[in-house]
Amino acid sequence: MTTWAGRTAVEIADAVRREEVSPREVVADHLARIAEGDGRVGAFRVVRAEAALAEADAVGARADLAGLPLAGVPVAVKDNVPVRGESTRNGSAATSTEPAAADHVLVARLRAAGAVVVGLTHVPELCVFGTTDGVHGIARNPWDLTRTPGGSSGGSAAAVAAGFVPLALGNDGMGSLRIPAAHCGLVGLKPGSGRVPRELGGGWYGMSENGPLATTVADARLMFSVLAGEAAEDFGTRTAQSPGGAGPGGGGEGGVAQGAPASARLAVAFSIRSPIPGVRVGARYAALAREAARALARAGHEVTLAHPPYPLSFGTVVLAHWAGGTAQDAEGLDPRLLTPRTRRHVALGRFASRLGMLRSDHKAALNRRLEPFFTRYGVLITPALARRGPAADAWHERGWLANALVNTACSPMTPPWNLSGRPALAVPFGVLPTGLPGSVQLVGRPGSEHQLLDVAAQLEQLHPWERTAPLSGGATAPAQGPR
């Protein structure tokens, strides 16, 4: 008997379109895996078992089934994105329990493409921090259940890494897609500004973007194309391009394993320098990024050690925007129901606003500074993380400073690309001595999402990764109560 849980979205959608399997069978397989494993992983706040099966039947009955890009593909949605008929709790006791009256535009696009929403995933309160824990539960990294999956899209990343779903929707305001992707061995794409609808709270002063989490580059590309509203006929031509291929920003073809032809060679910058003064990248994480840079050089790209000109003030500016965005999201919420770390973060945001630190010109100033660098280099490769993720624990019960310090030490490499609005993605690469997946970050020019995916696909072919965590083995965690 074929088991569909653990298969890629591309494989599932193709089989459903060919009527080799029904959407109900696919969804039922994934629900069974969730029932078996999520008590240990804690990826989901809500599992929509009955509703998902009914939606799967509706997909199977659609007259346009043969043309659906995500036909019958189970997806998870981060719990700060409205799903019709479900409450959107955003990780907090202060948010409304009323069900959403309508889908977020991206949920509507996923459903229109044939996807089935099986559940809503855990987030830290108001999606502020880089660990996914709070009043609704603690999410764990399926590769090591004693560690966090990262945050704030940690529940979504855990769901994909555990094989509960092949795709999940998350968002990224300081690295909230790329950090969990890096911890969990996934591809996580933060699109550039304007490529995917945001329509999410205040958007953290333009820093937050919605994007996909997936186990393969082809799956991430497929989901991104749906989210971005790209034409369905483009999907098939964008699943296995080499750098410079058919996607935007490319031109030319070439075999990956044989090296990039001259027309597809990219000028790639490599850097392990932290954008935040005083925060260093650990040696093991730097070594993985060096090896990934060497792999691209061996494949024919021009790879140069070169560091983006991060301003000295960057750490202060991004902290102000991070806190200020949270203060916007907390408007109208009862502060007595927020955790102490969130209340302190909100207070910092309001203080930054009073000081005039949330000026709209910060993005433009950063991009003016970065422009010569990205004129010279088409792609930047860096470590995705600087340290191992913290323990999976009740970090929401600890103070703001403890959370801020551990988050910053672990993941200083992601925030510049939120403030600048440039596309960036995390892609698995290698294995750390701890046994956890390794990861690197790719950053590109505006509009270069498909080019970054092309480069990620090249790394995927040169250094394949294990896609799904073996939940039957490894560390165990206490079972969680009903959610």
Is 353 annotated as catalytic? no
Q: Which residues fall within 8 angstroms of residue 182, CB to CB, at 6 or more apart?
A: 150, 188, 384, 385, 411, 426, 437, 439, 441
Instruction: Residue 72: name the closest of 25, 40, 31, 109 by CA.
Output: 25
Q: Is 201 left (phi over 0), alpha (psi -120 to 50) or beta?
A: left
Instruction: Annotate 410-422 with b (16+ C-beta within 10 A) or e (fewer).
Output: bbbbbbbbbbbbb
Token pair, residue 125, equals 């309160």
Distance in angstroms (rounded) separating the CA atoms of residues 42 and 392: 11
> 109 and 73 in contact (C-beta within 8 Å)?
no
Q: Which of 152, 153, 156, 274 is catalytic?
A: 152
Is 152 annotated as catalytic? yes
Distance in angstroms (rounded) separating the CA atoms of residues 443 and 420: 11
Q: Which residue has the tokens 């920003």?
A: 249
Q: Which of 78, 92, 420, 439 is catalytic?
A: 78
Is 78 annotated as catalytic? yes
Instruction: Residue 425: name the closest of 461, 379, 389 by CA.
Output: 379
Distance in angstroms (rounded) separating the CA atoms of residues 265 and 271: 19
Give CA 481 to chain center in angstroms: 26
DSSP one-letter string for 103-136: --HHHHHHHHTT-EEEEEE---GGG-SSS-EETT
Distance in angstroms (rounded) separating the CA atoms of residues 234 and 229: 11
Instruction: Residue 421: name the closest of 450, 381, 383, 449 by CA.
Output: 449
Q: Which of 153, 176, 242, 271 is catalytic?
A: 176
Catalytic residue list: 78, 152, 176
